[in-house]
Amino acid sequence: MSQSEQLPDVLPRHVAIIMDGNGRWAQRRGLPRIEGHRRGVKSVREIVEAGADFGLQQLTLYCLSSENWKRPESELRRLMNLLEQFLIEERSTIMRQGLRFATIGRRAGLSDGVLREIDRTVQVSSGNTGMRLCLALNYGARSEIADAAREIARKVQAGELNVDDIDESTVADSLYTAGMPDPDLLIRTAGELRLSNYLLWQISYAELWVTEKFWPEFRRPDLIEAFHAFASRDRRYGGLKG
């Protein structure tokens, strides 16, 4: 960590990011949309390294939403290729930094190559003890909650769970993020003021921070700026201070 970087005394444990604006960044420069995604990978690398340096417990990146399948097939095919390449190329860095790799979302629809590299990276990094890097792939919060409801219903049908025993912990333990801490800070790039079906259950008490910068422009100093904004918030979780 650079001595010039002034971090606040209070840091979030878990940061979730909606990496928005790759396509618009490219279009404003007369480049194909896929070039924006390629440039966005550079931001991913820098922010992952920064998160590990700063001692985050978890960093969750919204890479592919369940709604993104509406995009042109050619773009989706290039995205799958880019994701597979990223997983292969970054595996050595993940191991060098001691990161634990995970994904959330539905596996159906992801290419065989992507699934193969996901499984390999999860396996080889399972013994690491550093920051958890979690990629949200083919992820949608409403689908996640629906899947959790089905799992809970099956347990009730099987006699493994009593209806009267269902509480918030039951739901949380049935989500894709079971065993993960809820995000303390949600960052969104490109200036959009919406949640885009991202971690709707988990961010109930997260602090929100939005920047006008497109994701390919987002760098380490921007993350530090978000941390300072987070540290300045009065987090009362519905109670009264003092």
Active site members? 20, 68
The DSSP output letter for 9 is: S
d(CA 168, CA 204): 12
Residue 90 tokens read as: 């970054």
Query: What SS3 class is residue 100?
Result: strand
Distances (CA, A) of 132 to 49, 97, 118, 179: 12, 11, 14, 12
Q: CA–CA separation, 238 vs 242, rounded Å?
A: 13
| Spatial distance between the Cα atoms of 23 and 159, rounded to a whole number of angstroms | 49
3-state SS of the chain: helix, strand, coil percent to 5?
A: 45, 15, 40
Rounded to whole angstroms, the Cα distance separating 131 from 163 reads 36
Q: How far apart are CA 155 and CA 160, in angstroms?
A: 5
What is the distance between the terminal CA atoms of the chain, rounded to a whole angstrom?
Answer: 34
Please give the Cα distance from 201 to 92 (Å, whole number): 33
